[in-house]
Structure 1
Amino acid sequence: MYRHTKQVVTAGVPAEQAKKAIIMLHGRGASASGIISLKDHLELDGFAIYAPQANEHSWYPYSFMAPVENNQPALDSALEVIGELVDDLKQKGIAQEDIYFLGFSQGACLTLEYTGRNAGSYGGIIAFTGGLIGEQLVKENYKGDFSNTPVLITTGDPDPHVPVSRVNESAEILKELNADVTLKIYKGRQHTISGEELALANTILKN
């Protein structure tokens, strides 16, 4: 399976002049320009906005609930792209605690997986319909201390791609790493992002 090259769409303030930054991760079949268009609904004044583009519009080939090895090497490659973006932002003068993450669906899973494996003090983490990745979750993969970083996880019940049981399990693991988790489950919501979810995200982004 393919590896990802770092292709990034940017918006907002140039990172060298920004006080905060956000990394936005698109879903399967979608695009960096698509996820970055959410900026029109989010409180991102003064942010540098970075959205990487997955090769072939998919971060990894199979369900996030598949055995991890089935999604390699694409999954590790995707995680490396995020790590490189974080390093880039730090080199441009943005502190880790001023870096935020947002993802939808496959991008939400990737957001949680990256931050769970690299727990630390971030500005905030927003996962619209996602959970940690793997057939079974291996707690030893998730290390560090979020130091009360606010984390928003939302999903529909039922969702065609993301079981609520995995969302709940993911939230508990992040809480054990000292994340300040807000979990919202919407009965009968389609696989999309609602206005209420965007409003909840804005409460994190305004901090």
Structure 2
Amino acid sequence: MHTKQVIRAGKQTGEATKALIMIHGRGGSAEDILGLADYLPVKDFALFAPQATNNTWYPYSFLAAPKDNEPWLSSALALLKEVVADVEATGIKKEEIYFLGFSQGACLTLEFITRHANRYGGAVAFTGGLIGDKIYDQNYTGDFAGTPVFIGTSDPDPHVPVERVHASAEILAGMHAQVTKKIYKNMGHTISQDEIDQVRELIFHNSKL
């Protein structure tokens, strides 16, 4: 199970009115994903990056049956819920909380926000989709009320089938998220400059670099 380790950066809570929760990928670290903040207009944000135990949020592919990734998957989702509660406890409202994840972290980001749909500041999924051997609609509740969401991926990607990206975007849009989906031909399993530019414009457009 995941122990709660969250690396903090950016503006101090108490001063910040916005927060960005950054979720690393398999084999990555909280420090790695925090490095992305240098390329985003988030200097006024408090940054929170939880660290997965053993650098992975769940053991198998996100396309495995959810029970096969337990208890790690539920533990990871519970940890994110705690981080959101911690952010709210500092006085930052849900609509000023943003999420960003890459790869396994992008899958976890999408799974978490869709299980707890609300008006958030925005969400970024660099190469990810909703988790499971199929999409379990019954897990998803709430209303995004226009929350901007960016999902970018390569076609093909070695870990994330583009069909799951399309299906995930459709679910979020049906729950009233403002979804921007970008599919990049043969990009590889990485984050492109175009994705960064898109996210700066679409998700963080109210903030200065």
TM-score normalised by L of structure 2: 0.97
| SS of residue paired to 1:132 | coil
CA distance in 2, matches of 1:31, 1:62: 18
Tell me which of 86, 95, 98 is aligned to 1:97.
95
Give distance in 2, aligned partners of 1:98 and 1:149.
Answer: 10
Q: What's the CA shift for 1:140?
A: 1.1
Which residue identity is paired with 1:68? P
Q: Distance in 1 between matches of 2:188 and 2:135?
A: 26
- Matched with 1:198 is 196
Give the alignment's Cα RMSD to 1 decimal: 0.6
Aligned to 1:140: 138
- SS of the residue aligned with 1:205? coil
- 2:16 corresponds to: 18
Question: Aligned with 1:85: secondary structure?
Answer: helix
Unaligned runs of 5+ in 1: none
Question: Are residue 65 (structure 1) and residue 70 (structure 2) matched?
Answer: no
Q: Is residue 2:175 matched to residue 1:177?
A: yes
Aligned residue identity for 2:182: K
| Equivalent position of 1:128 in the other structure | 126
Cα offset for 1:129?
Answer: 0.1
Q: Which residue of 2 aligns with 1:165?
A: 163
Provide the secondary structure at the position in 1 that maps to 2:48.
Answer: strand
1:206 deviation in Å?
2.5
TM-score normalised over the length of structure 1: 0.98
What is the Cα deviation at residue 183 of structure 1? 0.2
Taking the aligned partners of 2:204 and 2:140, their CA distance within structure 1 comes to 24
Q: CA deviation at 1:114?
A: 0.1
For residues 135-156 of structure 1, give each alpha carbon's deviation from its aligned partner in whole angstroms, at most 9, with x where no partner exists: 0111111110000000000000
Shift of 1:158: 0.2
Deviation, structure 1 residue 10: 1.1
How big is each residue's C-alpha offset from its partner over 1:162-202, in whole Å with a ceiling of 9 and x where there is no partner? 00000000000001100000000000001000111011111
User: What is the CA–CA distance in structure 2 between the aligned matches of 1:81 and 1:129, rounded to whole Å?
Assistant: 21
Q: Distance in 1 between matches of 2:54 and 2:132?
A: 21
Which amino acid counterpart does residue 13 of structure 1 have in structure 2? K
Rounded to whole Å, the distance in 2 between the matches of 1:40 and 1:145 is 31
| Structure 1 runs, 4 residues or longer, greater than 4 Å off | none
Residue 82 of structure 2: aligned partner: 84
AA aligned to 2:174 is E
Unaligned 5+ residue runs, structure 2? none
* Counterpart-to-counterpart distance in 1, 2:52 and 2:88: 22
Q: By how many angstroms is 1:14 displaced? A: 1.0
Greater alpha carbon shift after TM alignment, 92-101 vs 136-145:
136-145
Paired-residue identity, %: 56
* Count of residues in Structure 1 that have an aligned counterpart in Structure 2: 205
Distance in 2 (CA, whole Å) between partners of 1:44 and 1:32 is 17
